[in-house]
Amino acid sequence: MKSFPRSDRVGGHIQRVLSDLLQKDIKDPRLEMVTITDVKLSDDLRKARIYFTTSTPKNIERAIEGFKSAHGYVKRVLSQHLGLRYMPDIEFLYDESFDYASRIDKLLKSTKTDNEKDYKPPEK
């Protein structure tokens, strides 16, 4: 059985704790419709990049401002739950992969409709 690196295990734990924190404890309206999608930690566990997505693209800047204002609180709560010697420096980044996937899906659907217009069934 292949073992997972410690950074992946700690990243998963950070994601669970932070998701729970957003649902129950943080009352900032800028962070209401935010979902934590991934956490990437450096191998030495000193830097954590926390990726999030929002319900609408116009809320991205508001969510970033919300995370900036809650940064100290989030870091303090995470340090209590993690029990690490050093608390990683956390950085919140918008996860663009969902927008990219949506754009590709629209392109695929548009080519499908274009091909259906050109397609003529074979005559018998």
Reported as a single tens digit per residue, the pLDDT across 3-26 is: 778 888 899 999 999 999 999 988
Domain range summary for the chain, segments of one domain joined by +: 6-96
Enumerate residue ranges in the chain where pLDDT < 70: 1-2, 112-122, 124
Is this model's pTM higher than 0.75 or not?
A: yes
Q: What is the DSSP letter of 21?
A: H
CATH H-level superfamily of 6-96:
K homology (KH) domain (3.30.300.20)
What is the per-residue pLDDT for 64?
93
pLDDT above 90: percentage of residues in the chain = 44
Q: How far apart are the first and last CA of the chain?
A: 57
Could you tell me which residues come within 8 angstroms of residue 94 by beta carbon, excluding any fewer than 6 positions away? 51, 52, 53, 54, 60, 63, 64
For position 102, what pLDDT does the model report?
A: 79
Predicted pLDDT of residue 100: 80
90 CA to centre of own chain: 13
Q: Tell which residue, 66, 58, 117, 109, has the closest CA to residue 50.
A: 66
Model pLDDT, residue 116: 62
pLDDT the model gives residue 103? 83
